[in-house]
Structure 1
Amino acid sequence: MRLNRTLRHWRIWAFITAIVLWPHAASAEDIAPDRMAAALSKLEALAEGVVADGGVPGLAIGVVHDDKVVFLKGFGRRQAGKPEAVDADTVFQIASLSKPVSATIVAALVGEKIVSWDSRIADLDPAFRLADPYPTSELTVRDLFSHRSGLPGTAGDDLESIGYDRAEILHRLRFVPPLSSFRAGYSYSNFGLTEGATAAAKPTGKPWEEVAEEKLYRPLGMTSTSSRYADFLKHANRAELHVKADGVWAARIKRDPDAQAPAGGVSSTARDLSQWVRLVLGNGVYDGKPLIAADALAETHVPLMTRGRNPVSGSESFYGLGWNVEFGRHGLSWGHAGAFSVGARTLVTLFPEQKLGIVVVANAFSTGVPEGLSESFADMAFDGTVEKDWVKAWDDAYASLFGPAVAAAKATYAAPSSPASPAGPASTYTGRYFNDFIGDAVVSGEGDALVLKLGPGGARSYSLEHFDRDMFLTYPDAETPDAPSGVSFVLGPDGKASAMTVEFLDANHLGTLARVGD
């Protein structure tokens, strides 16, 4: 008990110290009405401009100030090349913006004493395991929502990509070696947070999706918001996902994120999300009535793990519980971004001292438009002028993150260093392979080609193109269809493959499978 109290005091002290010592913190003075009006006018013009310039096919924005929605508008098209316009009620998949939404839902459970942020997962969900016994026994909801469990960030994302459902993915996290010591490192984990949320919901006896509706969506009148992909598909007024194809936005990929619903599976509108922003800025009070206990909600904004500096603005950045906490050019802010590499970009930024918040949802990847609009709006609201072209700065940042990775993959497999050696006959490689994490994989000969089947019941198929000797290439990413990834085989004494390494599943060194039969 004394240790828990000491840790709690340390967290509060860290939070207060960061605010007091931050040298550029803005005052809590309200923003003058004429300044706000000018900022909103500039925001609207910028949004119209980025859509007209092809920055994104469509987007929607909500701005809240002093518990009022002061701006709410859609721009552009739900789908490139089609006439249907985005409006404030267009439903977007919000990707990782789901995380602070889910943190708010868990805060509601905490406020009702159904669960605690420090409840142990071993008590809530005894079947869940990490690789090591001590973290398994001590792991809490707080650990998973602050990404300090030791799980590598991509753990589980790889299994989702080949068709496994939530229950199977969470079960298989026990096979993933830790990236860092327990509570010693920050590693952003979709399925870690998903376990934290679903475990927190277990005392209710209801699934997470139903708890989300009960505790947040219905009380706030968020009638177009859901944590189920099927509900998203029911909306005629929904935004399609877009990626660049030959320099043009194209809606060609669907994304069902149900497996990681608490971390990335919420769909919503600018109108609905603005009501959630009102609740958070109101410290749990909505329309004058307490909805979530203020102390339970406040814990989500305590900085627990350092994230370094914001790569564009330079702000000091930390992670709380499902929220980024930054101390930057305009003082304290809470925020979170979301992205699907198959075509979504979202952002929320709140300035709690000024009771000001902005949410931007867009239907394209990769783009820095949400951050660019948010930064520009904040500059206008606080300073009356925009410091620089933030949209370009953030676009450049995203390009520097993702462009080189694709280029490196192409360069790696551009051509063998010497004339390619021939592959063995198909029977050298065909057969069944297995490891505990990935499960079964089958390599079969289909015509003159080899095909790799992965996932439950061979749910995903990947054509294998010979590269050199016992190395083959496949193209697993639908959004970057020209980016190759290697599949290599090791031959045994009998001249047949004894093992296979699938590069796109090997981020955590779990991509090697042993041959178990023909």
Structure 2
Amino acid sequence: MVTSGIWNTFTAFCFLGLFCFTFVHSELDAAQLDSDIASVLGCKTSPALAVSVVLDGKAVFSKGYGYSDLQKTIPTTNNTIFGIASLSKAFAATLLLKLLDRHNISLNTPVVDVLGKDFRFEDDLRTKYATLEDLLSHRLGIPSNNNIRLDTNLTRANLPKRLRYLKATGGFRNSFFYSNLMYGVITYIAERLGGKTWEELVKEEIFTPLGMTSSDFTTIKDLKSRDVAKPIAVYGENNTFPVNTEFSRRWGLLCGSGCVMSTANDMIKWMHFHLTRGLDLQGRRIMDTKVMDPMYIPRNAFAGSSYKTFVRPRLPVTTSSGVYAMGWRRGYYRGYPIITHTGSTFGYRAIMILIPDKKFGVFMVATGNDDEYLFRVSLANYVIDATLGFTPWLNASTFCSFPQPWFGRKVTKYKLPDSSTPYKKNVSTYLGFFTNKAFGNMEVYYNASLGRVVIRYGYGEWALYPIAGPPDSFYGKGMGIISVKHCHTFVFRSGKGAGDRTVKIEAMCFEMKLPPVFVREGSVNSADSMLSFRTNTLALIFAVITAYYI
């Protein structure tokens, strides 16, 4: 997939023999770009990286770097499979547009008309008027409530029934509230229209026609197989932690929001498909242009940009993405309109930037973390410049020091709260069963072996450490399969007449804009409870009531 070559016409200045500042180009020097990227990876904390580039309808670069499995030292290739997280949203939008066209349904169709009269949002305005377009462009003003995905009782089918309990804090159609849950609803609607699982539909409608033979889904792929890059979380500078693959599988439940997995080679086909508005690499039409075009139309502006660090005069060149379309962000790089999106999930970071005017696309995915998109966007910028003939604003020295010398970066040190800080009350006052209409059930129990009060919500568990702040505030250290997902903050509240006994828990780390409140339903008497008969009974009763009344 990699095409080597030289610049046919150029004026260049090379810095340290690594990066060339070139003014007029006509052909990509893939070998030089390969060397540049390999050098860059050496000063970053991403264990595995894959990059691919398409230009003028051809794959001009595709390469893997580092190790997809650190323990087994398996080299990354352009066929290594990575989770691409929220780049999945473009797949969700593409699939839904195909299905809507097939069923003669408009994007302006109210959601209630598709899901039925029993569906509703928390208020009548959204229930009556919210459309499929509103779901796809994050215009509902409802906070993300992302951690509801941890609930083991959540399914794609019952997610819409929970939306009536989620209050809005932003305006309808005049605010931007990014929501994985709404793309979960889009996933379910696609399944309703297509009569199959979302995974089956994407394979039939997108993967197979485009020849994306290696692409898959976190929900069904064997994530321990040799061809998968193992997800790695990084805290601080070099503290790496493997992400439990069972967590990756479960977290991907709302598939259209972030479950797609792919390779550098397969994503070339995906980029070409969008740059040509519906063609595969052989020039065959896979989707009508008129059906695709609504996907790219700007529909919702938001303050700043997801690439807010990359603006002039802070940096020499601006990369903007301050408008949302459907499954894509719109913005500019060096004055050229771009179609872009990022993907961030536990252990994976991805980005795609398309420049339609130049028939250019770059895809990058890595394991590890990438705060503020510093690695992804800067590397994508360099690849754009190297491919299209712009003078790169980064060189060998500044790439490794970035964001210096332009500005400093504060590194968050990975440090737990002081474990010697005692609980302020008898631990028995914290214990019990709590419930929330939208989120479901939560259990608080005491783990004698850890000497810690523990919150269990769905498949998530957190050991609680007292912290400063409101009385009875706690930091939650992730346990079990979610050991890389910590939670800051839980606040336990006592009530009048209850003494020190907790009557409700504000899960601020579940949703900062409007924290869900879990209200006490029972108590735990054992010193070291696990999921008891009572827990299972409450969960079953709640599930039955939810299914019947909601």
- 2:294 equivalent in structure 1: 299
- Correspondences of 1:77-226 after superposition (within 5 Å): 77-126=67-116, 127-152=118-143, 154-155=144-145, 157-167=146-156, 168-226=158-216
- 1:463 equivalent in structure 2: 463
1:436-477 residue CA offsets vs partner (Å, 9 max, x unmatched): 123222223343845344334xx3332234458644442247
Q: 2-side partners of 1:489 and 1:401: how far apart?
A: 37
Tell me if structure 2 keeps the 8 A contact 1:333–1:349.
yes
Tell me if structure 2 keeps the 8 A contact 1:471–1:489.
no
Single out whichever of 258-267 and 301-310 deviates more from structure 2. 301-310
* Pair 1:83–1:435, CA change in 2 (3 A): closer
- Correspondences of 1:23-42 after superposition (within 5 Å): 34-38=25-29, 40-42=30-32
What SS does the aligned partner of 1:231 have? coil
For 2:367, the aligned partner's letter is: N
* Pair 1:402–1:220, CA change in 2 (3 A): farther
* Pair 1:54–1:184, CA change in 2 (3 A): closer
What SS does the aligned partner of 2:369 have? coil
- CA displacement at 1:290 relative to structure 2: 1.6
2:325 maps to 1:320? yes
What SS does the aligned partner of 1:181 have? coil
- 1:366 equivalent in structure 2: 370
- CA displacement at 1:143 relative to structure 2: 1.0
Q: 2-side partners of 1:393 and 1:306: how far apart?
A: 32
Gaps of 5+ in 1: 1-30
- 1:53 equivalent in structure 2: 43
- CA displacement at 1:226 relative to structure 2: 2.1
Tell me if structure 1 keeps the 8 A contact 2:427–2:453.
no
* Pair 1:414–1:453, CA change in 2 (3 A): closer
- CA displacement at 1:228 relative to structure 2: 4.5
Single out whichever of 316-325 and 385-394 deviates more from structure 2. 385-394
Q: 2-side partners of 1:377 and 1:446: how far apart?
A: 51
Pick the aligned partner of 2:259 from 254, 265, 271.
265
* Pair 1:396–1:174, CA change in 2 (3 A): farther
Tell me if structure 1 keeps the 8 A contact 2:271–2:361.
yes
1:136-157 residue CA offsets vs partner (Å, 9 max, x unmatched): 22222211111112221x22x1
Gaps of 5+ in 2: 1-21, 312-317, 524-550
Tell me if structure 1 keeps the 8 A contact 2:447–2:454.
no
Q: 1-side partners of 2:90 and 2:488: how far apart?
A: 34
Q: 2-side partners of 1:355 and 1:177: how far apart?
A: 43
- Correspondences of 1:445-456 after superposition (within 5 Å): 445-447=446-448, 449=451, 451-456=453-458
Tell me if structure 2 keeps the 8 A contact 1:502–1:511.
yes
For 2:207, the aligned partner's letter is: Y
Tell me if structure 2 keeps the 8 A contact 1:485–1:503.
yes
Q: 1-side partners of 2:300 and 2:63: how far apart?
A: 35
- 2:546 equivalent in structure 1: none
* Pair 1:504–1:68, CA change in 2 (3 A): same
* Pair 1:323–1:347, CA change in 2 (3 A): same
- 1:504 equivalent in structure 2: 509
What SS does the aligned partner of 2:509 have? helix
Q: 2-side partners of 1:432 and 1:251: how far apart?
A: 31
* Pair 1:147–1:440, CA change in 2 (3 A): same
Tell me if structure 2 keeps the 8 A contact 1:232–1:267.
no
Q: 2-side partners of 1:401 and 1:109: how far apart?
A: 45
Single out whichever of 231-240 and 343-352 deviates more from structure 2. 231-240
Q: 1-side partners of 2:488 and 2:503: how far apart?
A: 23
- 2:526 equivalent in structure 1: none
What SS does the aligned partner of 1:285 have? coil
What SS does the aligned partner of 1:219 have? helix
- CA displacement at 1:377 relative to structure 2: 1.6
Q: 2-side partners of 1:111 and 1:101: how far apart?
A: 16
- 1:387 equivalent in structure 2: 393
- 2:347 equivalent in structure 1: 343
Tell me if structure 2 keeps the 8 A contact 1:371–1:391.
no
Tell me if structure 2 keeps the 8 A contact 1:80–1:249.
no
- CA displacement at 1:433 relative to structure 2: 1.9
For 2:294, the aligned partner's letter is: E
What SS does the aligned partner of 1:230 have? coil
Pick the aligned partner of 2:491 from 487, 490, 505.
487
For 1:475, the aligned partner's letter is: K
The root-mean-square deviation of aligned C-alpha atoms, in Å, is 3.2
- 2:3 equivalent in structure 1: none
- 1:376 equivalent in structure 2: 382
2:58 maps to 1:68? yes
Tell me if structure 1 keeps the 8 A contact 2:362–2:384.
no
- CA displacement at 1:513 relative to structure 2: 2.0
- CA displacement at 1:391 relative to structure 2: 4.9
Tell me if structure 1 keeps the 8 A contact 2:165–2:438.
yes
- CA displacement at 1:498 relative to structure 2: 2.3
What SS does the aligned partner of 1:109 have? helix
* Pair 1:46–1:55, CA change in 2 (3 A): farther
Single out whichever of 273-282 and 81-90 deviates more from structure 2. 81-90
2:409 maps to 1:430? no
- CA displacement at 1:190 relative to structure 2: 0.9
What SS does the aligned partner of 2:142 have? coil
Tell me if structure 2 keeps the 8 A contact 1:430–1:444.
yes
For 2:492, the aligned partner's letter is: S
Tell me if structure 2 keeps the 8 A contact 1:303–1:320.
yes
